[in-house]
Chains A and B, each alone.
Chain A
């Protein structure tokens, strides 16, 4: 979790990518990721083409490449797991005497690393050019279930309120000399967690009251109107369309 500053992934800008309607960007990103995942792993050149596409888009978006690379590191723990595969997978092995790697494992590892990283890179580009509010609005336009968008909205809105509350409780605890070093001192922290839960629950009730007071009747009103212009859809379609062509070509070479 990006935690306290979950809402600050957006890098403000005015590129073509920033200006695309969020629903077009989300649809394009999801389509692209599916196509990448469906590409045969043996066709290295196809993945090279995907990377080139994303590099091109990074250029258009105006996001600093270093920032994109830094955000890519969120999938490192996941990749570490993938890198273990060649050591533990069974089947045919390569190596001599004192070391050996599974060939299946190597392929699986490559598959996960390549496709996972491409997926994360796509998300980094999406979230770097779209505010959270717009992402939710885009999901709404794409007819995501209202309960889903409502829950996401609340999560985004209250993450900071609750971490703020947690921080204040921590400061108050430490101000009274609490300095936990050992496991048996965890009691106070457990109580904090419990209190925080109850407080958040009560806040939920108050928020609900405030919503009822403004005429909420159980369904979030859909406020977004008017679809995206056709040009946005066409522009957004360039990436998945090209990727689809690459993927189909890869399959034809493959079989």
Chain B
């Protein structure tokens, strides 16, 4: 993970995809994300963000074009490796957390990687510690608050030690305090992060760079503050800032801590 010439951690080229029912969601997506970056993926509903995300770990396989993760092509034969490297945190933690206890759930991913015994316990502990949830390890996921479940969902993916963390709407349905706490956790992580969100202040706070997606292609790529400040671009892509929010009024996201 040094220098700019190394292979990007995520490289998508000319990606097109149509669902089996014929509905085409992606029309030639190109993007490159370097190791250690935090990037926001913005765009209106139906822009194809989720479809793109599901290509990054091989849930969908490219119809045309290619997806590479740290140089490895995403294809049937590389799925196990790809899914270890790319961790997806889904929007609804109830979809992600399905085991009877938090501990079992966090262990599910690394256990699929073949870890057992002490090594597995270590992974679980480290992942829960990273999101500050070690004290709920023996609770049932459905007995946790929504904010706690979201954090545990992040831990289930961290336990696989991914290179890239992809989060789908991580701030949705969180109260402001949980939202801030999650931001603090994400800023502290060393992984490359792709943040899919409608929460533009969150993108500005966390991600120095943003991609805008609309109608199945990437239509803009640049510093988050510049994108949010470009009124014409924003309006053309149904992006709107919350009432009273001026992106120029806040300091830009700092470098990695």
Cα-based distance from A133 to B107 in the complex (angstroms):
14
The distance from the CB of A160 to the nearest CB of chain B, in whole angstroms, is 5
The distance from the CB of B169 to the nearest CB of chain A, in whole angstroms, is 13
Number of B residues near A (Cβ < 8 Å) is 35
Q: A133-B140, A157-B99, A157-B100 are in contact. Are A213 and B92 (CB under 8 A)?
A: no
Contact of B90 (CB < 8 Å), options: A7, A161, A206:
A206
Most buried by B among A7, A131, A213: A213
Interface residue? A250 (CB, 8 A): no
B142 engages A160 (CB within 8 Å): yes
0/1 string, A151-170, CB within 8 A of B gives 1: 00110111011000000000
B83 engages A153 (CB within 8 Å): no
Interface residue? B141 (CB, 8 A): yes
A154 engages B98 (CB within 8 Å): yes
A210 engages B96 (CB within 8 Å): yes
Most buried by B among A7, A158, A209: A209
A215 engages B109 (CB within 8 Å): yes
Cα-based distance from A157 to B149 in the complex (angstroms):
13
A209 engages B59 (CB within 8 Å): yes
The distance from the CB of A201 to the nearest CB of chain B, in whole angstroms, is 13
Cα-based distance from A161 to B146 in the complex (angstroms):
12
Interface residue? B94 (CB, 8 A): yes
A7 engages B99 (CB within 8 Å): no
A157 engages B98 (CB within 8 Å): yes
Cα-based distance from A213 to B80 in the complex (angstroms):
9
By size class, the interface of chain A is 20 to 34
A133 engages B96 (CB within 8 Å): no
B112 engages A221 (CB within 8 Å): yes
Q: A209-B54, A210-B95 are in contact. Are A215 and B83 (CB under 8 A)?
A: yes
Q: A157-B141, A214-B160 are in contact. Are A223 and B83 (CB under 8 A)?
A: no
Residues of B within 8 A of A (CB): 54, 57, 59, 80, 83-84, 87-88, 90, 92, 94-101, 104, 107-109, 111-113, 116-117, 120, 140-143, 156-157, 160
Could you list 7 A-B pairs, sorted by A, with CB under 8 Å? A157-B140, A207-B96, A209-B95, A210-B88, A214-B112, A216-B112, A217-B80
Residues of A within 8 A of B (CB): 7, 131-133, 136, 153-154, 156-158, 160-161, 203, 206-207, 209-217, 221, 223, 225
Q: Known pairs A158-B94, A161-B94, A214-B87. 18 more at Cβ < 8 A?
A: A7-B100, A131-B100, A157-B98, A157-B99, A158-B98, A206-B95, A207-B95, A209-B54, A209-B95, A210-B88, A210-B95, A213-B90, A214-B109, A215-B113, A216-B108, A217-B112, A223-B104, A223-B107
